Homo-oligomer: A and B are copies of this chain.
Amino acid sequence: MSPKTVEFYFDFGSPASYLAWTQLPGLCAQAGAELAYRPMLLGGVFQATGNHSPATIPAKGHYTFVDFDRFARRYGVPLQRNPHFPINTLTLMRGAAGLQMREPARFLPYCDAVFRAIWVEAKNLNEPAAVAGVLQAAGFDPAALLALTQDAEVKERLKAATQEAIDRGVFGAPTFFVGAQMFWGQDRLDFVKEALQTS
């Protein structure tokens, strides 16, 4: 790994991961840093750590979206509250892990399509038909991608990445590492930037 790398642990189901996703490429380019994408299963992280979505506390869940809207305006990026939240992202995250392993050139277009479908177009990706539609529109073969998500090595890869995250202290998404320094939340990107400047 390059001495200047941001590791980005994310899950499509997390609106804060989406916001970070929109900002990290520019931030890393400006800092001359590499961006290492680390798809993980947030549900697995929650289960292992005892943490849970802020949405489980009604007052907090409501506020969280007010807060994300403020950041979206600050960043100048689109964001829609998804009425189908929370979305079960197991298959979607397996797709990300599988493409990263087997077709790395298609990893970013896939992530972009999925993030946008959930957090810009507010689609219900709990429905396989909606997922297939999004994939097709983005130039993927839904059947081939579904097969990839059923591949034992791909399943294992996502499981291992999630466990690695937990072992490193991750309890939520997004989480960034600059070397051994961990930063949680899209609202800590300024600290990530500082860490790159001093690393």
Contact = CB atoms under 8 A, between A and B. Distances in A.
A57 B66 CA distance: 24
Contact of A59 (B51, B62, B63): B51
A187 B186 CA distance: 12
How large, as a class, is the contact surface on chain A? 20 to 34
Interface in A48-65: 49-51, 56-60, 62-63
A67 interface: yes
A57 B51 contact: yes
B49 A59 contact: yes
Interface stretch (A35-43, A94-102, A167-175): A167-175
Contacts of A182: 63, 66
Q: Is the interface of A mostly helix, strand, loop or mixed?
A: helix
Nearest to A182: B63
A88 B84 CA distance: 39
A63 B169 contact: yes
Interface in A150-172: 166, 169-172
Contacts of A187: 187
Given A66-B182, A182-B66, A184-B67, A169 B50 contact: no
B51 A171 contact: no
A106 interface: no
A169 B59 contact: yes
